[in-house]
Amino acid sequence: MRENTITMLVLGALCLLISQIVSAATLGPLDNFLIQGESDGWQGSSDRGAYWLENPSQEGAIRYFYTPYVEGDGGKRHLSIDVDVSNTTTSARAGLLYGLKGNPLRYFMLLFGRGGEVELYRRDQDGVNLLMSATTKPLRGFNRVEMREKRGSVELYVNGKSMGSIESNGVGEGSIGIAAMGVGRFGFANYVEAAPSGGLLDNF
């Protein structure tokens, strides 16, 4: 009887450990900056290798997470994230945050919508403005959003398809990460950052 009790306790502990591992966020360096639970109307959670961010009611609200910029890393970075926006409103978007700087606050966002919308936004002293809009055929579930720095410009891709590029004096500078905009439940997985040398910093 005692051996059976010990076995059950061990199995219970293993099940709990496996559950914790499965539910852990796996976005590499971003894990330390993600919210778990409620924060400012947004709800964050992790499940089976993906991070889920939910905004139940704040239309047009923006939430992002980023890692600090390290001088010397910029100019040749490759960034990508898989996003699931199937459980969001038609105007909701999710994707990558790029070139975040403060004083004044400014950044870019390359975002994807559930109808295949691909949009590039810029935040500066004039607010958040749409710079580019295109469409592509969405995949079921997760879709990959990607940005590649190259020779003073940033090339934009969705599911491996080129969606254009942008040129800016700030290419290679600023923090990078993920972003969501609008109402719904946003999924994030397989976050990738590539080093200037071409080697992977993180691939989760």
CATH of the domain at 104: 2.60.120.560
Which range of 14-23, 72-81, 82-91, 163-172 scores highest in mean pLDDT? It is 82-91
Contact 149, 143 (CB under 8 A): no
Q: Is residue 182 part of a domain?
A: yes
pTM of the model: 0.83
What token pair was written down for 120? Answer: 């590039």
Q: Is residue 100 part of a domain?
A: yes
| Residue 88 to residue 67: CA distance in whole angstroms | 26
Domain, as residue range, for 128:
24-203
Q: Is residue 6 part of a domain?
A: no
pLDDT per residue as tens digits for the range 109-137: 999 999 999 999 999 999 999 999 999 99
Q: Is residue 31 part of a domain?
A: yes
Residues paired with residue 200 on neighbouring β-strands, in sequence order? 194
By C-alpha distance, which of 39, 45, 54 is closest to 23? 45
Instruction: Find the range with the poorest average confidence among 101-105, 161-165, 184-188, 198-202.
Output: 198-202
Q: Is residue 44 part of a domain?
A: yes
Answer whether residue 18 shows pLDDT above 60.
no
Answer whether residue 11 shows pLDDT above 50.
no
Answer whether residue 199 shows pLDDT above 90.
no
pLDDT tier, 80 (very low <50, low <70, confident <90, very high otherwise): very high
* Mean pLDDT score, 10-17: 37
